[in-house]
Amino acid sequence: MTTKDRNDITPDNSVDFVEQKLRDIFDVVPVSIQPLKGHVDQNFLVEIDNAKFVFKLKEMKEGIFIEEFKSQIRFMMFLNGNGFVTPTIIPTLNGQMYHQEGGIIHADFHDSNIILLSQPRHKDPKGKYGIIDYGETIASLFLFDVAITVSYFMMISTLDDFIERGACVLAGYLSKRSMSTGEKKAFFVCVCAAYCRELVLCNKDFHVQGRQNEYLMTSMATGWPQLKKLRTHPEEFHAVFEKVLDIGE
């Protein structure tokens, strides 16, 4: 985790992070990676099999949306097709002209939506589990999905250990997918937002239903005190989670 201001969303990723992304996105092992100067993005000179490329990292911040980025790519391709010299975009493994930190997310992934099967479908560990409830599924950032998931597993924990429990969930996630610097910086805010979303919806449903609901009562009973602790003592969250987030570097 870098020591930069949390509000600074300029990319600040390490060479190791870039190397891992090159493996994940392009399935290549670079010979060398050298940082280059950049303004609001981060650039690296990458050498692969005696060829050199520029690997660009850009945060999707306010005022810069994915459709605008697509327009930039289309414009470069148009100019290139008409004889002008422009950067050549190298497609990713899945044939895309860019890689973004988002896609289809479940948005409601918690213990009640994970089913342990009595008879596994196949030998792969994933065959032991089933996932249900796709009513919240949406195209969004992967960051939101993991923040929602972490918040849910924190809510079913006690006030004494909910931060550590959430960190364990994140550690498992990071064993399968690394997070960008921008995602790490926004993670705490997204977890708090996930708490707010769940608690506000639970409060609404509780009053609308006008009756005792064990599911709603459980979330509200643990969620509000935990959210208050996150608000009044955020340093406790950062002290635990930043150790875990460093794993993703």
pLDDT at 60: 61
Domain around 108: 102-248
How many CB atoms are closer than 10 A to CB 147? 24
pLDDT tens digits along 103-126: 789 999 998 899 888 877 777 777
- Asked if residue 53 is part of any domain, the answer here is no
- Asked if residue 70 is part of any domain, the answer here is no
Say which CATH number the domain at 191 has.
3.90.1200.10
- Asked if residue 2 is part of any domain, the answer here is no
Domain count, the chain: 1
CA distance 235 to 201: 27
User: Is the CB of residue 41 less than 8 Å from the CB of residue 56?
Assistant: yes
- Asked if residue 240 is part of any domain, the answer here is yes
Residue whose token pair is 């602790």? 229
Please state the pTM of the whole predicted model: 0.67
- Asked if residue 29 is part of any domain, the answer here is no
pLDDT at 32: 95
| Between residues 163 and 220, the one the model is more confident about | 163
| Between residues 62 and 31, the one the model is more confident about | 31
* Per-position DSSP letters for 134-186, written without gaps between them: -TT-EEEEHHHHHHHHHHHHHHTS-TTTHHHHHHHHHHHHHTT----HHHHHH
What's the average model confidence in pLDDT over 153-169?
96
pLDDT tens digits along 2-51: 444 545 555 678 899 899 889 888 889 999 999 998 777 889 999 998 89
- Asked if residue 136 is part of any domain, the answer here is yes
How many CB atoms are closer than 10 A to CB 165? 15
